[in-house]
Structure 1
Amino acid sequence: MRRLTSALLALLAGCSALAPDDDRPPDHWRPTAGLPWQWQLSGRVDTSVDVPVYDIDGFENDEAVVRELHAAGRKVICYVNAGAWESFRPDADAFPREVRGRGNGWPGERWLDIRRRDVLRPLMAARFEMCAAKGFDGVEPDLMDAYTNDTGFPLTAADQLAYNRMLAGLAHERGLAVGLKNDLEQIPELHGDFDFAVNEECAQFEECEALTPFVRDGKPVFHVEYELDTDEFCAATGALGLSSMRKRLELGAWREECPRAAE
């Protein structure tokens, strides 16, 4: 009986070793470099744009919009602000006053004290949970370069690295891909933690080369210009492998995409 029990225990131990680890985060979408995209943060989402990736506001759009885009074969990224408090969001009162800093130039927004990860972690986790519950495939946390701005807090590059890595971990724990928004100076340290990049105006400011670590990783750089005409940047950013288009600053449905390589 002892030998039988020992054998049974050994068998069970072997099965346990083969069982999946329930503590592992769920797998997430891993987009590839060169994917065309649409970025629309204002107005009713135009779901007819023929691109494989959409980036839309996570609060303003419900699961029905995500389902419609999925039915058309699109992947959908959830935009949320991770660097500033927004007075107009439904969770605004959950942010203590002591973590709200100076205005960032947008109405109703104030920089967050990203050093207070103890306070901000559960708040950002709840936002990412919202994205996951609505069926989004990824998340775009905005304002990830607070330490380079006049926030009202003595933020350092180390503070930003820790905060951005926290955001990447929160997204991956929920089965979401995650993008690095701007923060060009820290791309060498962070490109391995993120699944894609989102960039505004790297061509205008002659900074696009800084984004190439993502492309070398096989990850997309979703890029927009506001002031330049497409014939002023598309050739250069296309040669770097960026997914580029021109948008208006209000980020409505209008877009002017750079010519695709196959066209």
Structure 2
Amino acid sequence: MGYTKRFFAISYITVAFSLAVGLTVPLSQRHDGHQHTARATCSPRPSGLKLPAPGDTWNYVLHNPIANPSKIDTTIAVWGIDLFDNTAATISTMKGKGANVICYFSAGSYEDWRTDASKFIIDDLGNELDGWPGERWADIRIKNVRDIMISRLDLAKSKGCNGVDPDNIDGFNNDNGLNLKEADSVDYVTFLANEAHKRGLTISLKNAASIIPDVIDCVDFSVNEQCHQYTECNDFATFIKHKKPVFQVEYPKGDEVNNDKPVSDSVKKSICKDPTSAGFSTIIKNMNLDNWIQKC
């Protein structure tokens, strides 16, 4: 489906890179000992954005379009849904029910089933994503890829999305085949944030814990998968300290089990009462992100 990906061939590499204007971004030392780029420079956030708040309830449905938008659970404030699969009418109806609608798309990969797949050229593409047929890493440094993403942001605006959730911006953590580095993702997230804000859209940082210190000023919230499972929630707590929400989803059933059965009370408690994720908006979902949800 092109989401909920986790890969662990991680290699943190000391890098230096130049911005498009030709200025070298200095490297500095983070508390964990890894080198990283200086905090990104972002355009001022415009007024009028529908900003989600820490503690907002949320749901994440990407497996299928929202079937009955007029009957959504109105106790859920924020909805993450697929940009391509849902219509402007669906989004308008959801917003009319009070929903803050965040539209998902993959910003760092090519998916051969998307309606704009023909816009990619072979030079844009790297290795296949392990376990995701028809999907390949995209070179986020290339103008053509960025132009495609600008068109997707335009689509999000035209459909009436309140914000966007761009996935797969962490190619540097994976066997991408493009020699992508952490600094490339910092630059790319900054680019996406500035372009989203120009269009009146809020924007997430999806996963990518290691670049949080570099882009925290650019993005509006975090969408995190499995920080409890992988003992990473402390990294994402940075958002809470900056008064920005963390929308956390855990998949304790694993990637092969998708059903409507709740997890045990002990499993739910271990996730929902994890002190390292205090203040997060946490839900339990099937890995395929269908309609089933277990709320904390």
Counterpart of 2:182?
Answer: 157
Distance 1:233 1:250 in 2: 19
- RMSD over aligned Cα atoms: 1.7
Matches within 5 A, 1:180-259: 180-227=205-252, 229-236=267-274, 240-258=278-296
Output the amino acid matched with 1:111: W
CA distance in 2, matches of 1:100, 1:237: 40
Q: Which of 167, 172, 182 pairs up with 2:197?
A: 172
Query: Which runs of structure 2 are paired with 1:116-131 in the superposition (5 Å)?
Result: 116=142, 118-131=143-156
CA distance in 2, matches of 1:159, 1:111: 13
Query: What TM-score, normalized by structure 1, do the two folds share?
Result: 0.85
Deviations, residues 176-223 of structure 1 (Å, cap 9, x unaligned)? 000000000011111111000000000001100100111111111000
**What pairs with 1:91-130 in structure 2 (closer than 5 Å)?**
91-105=116-130, 106-116=132-142, 118-130=143-155
The CA deviation string for residues 113-147 of structure 1, in whole angstroms up to 9 with x for no partner, is 1121x222211010010011010000000011111
Q: Looking at secondary structure, tell me which structure has more helix per residue.
A: 1
* TM alignment of 1:40-119, pairs within 5 A: 40-45=61-66, 47=69, 48-49=72-73, 50-105=75-130, 106-116=132-142, 118-119=143-144
SS at match of 2:274: helix
Evaluate the alpha carbon distance shift between residue 131 and residue 143 of structure 1 in structure 2; reply closer, same or farther with a 3 A threshold: same
Rg larger for: 1
The CA distance in 2 between the partners of 1:108 and 1:91, in whole Å, is: 14
Please say if residues 65 and 85 of structure 2, whose CA atoms lie closer than 8 Å, have aligned partners that are also in contact. Answer: no
Stretches of structure 2 lacking an aligned partner (at least 5 in a row)? 1-44, 254-266
2:117 partner letter: A
Q: How many Å apart are 1:238 and its aligned residue?
A: 7.9
Indicate which of 23, 28, 36 corresponds to 2:49.
28
SS for the counterpart of 2:273 is helix
- Helix, strand or coil for the counterpart of 2:127? strand
Deviation at 1:239, TM superposition (A): 5.5
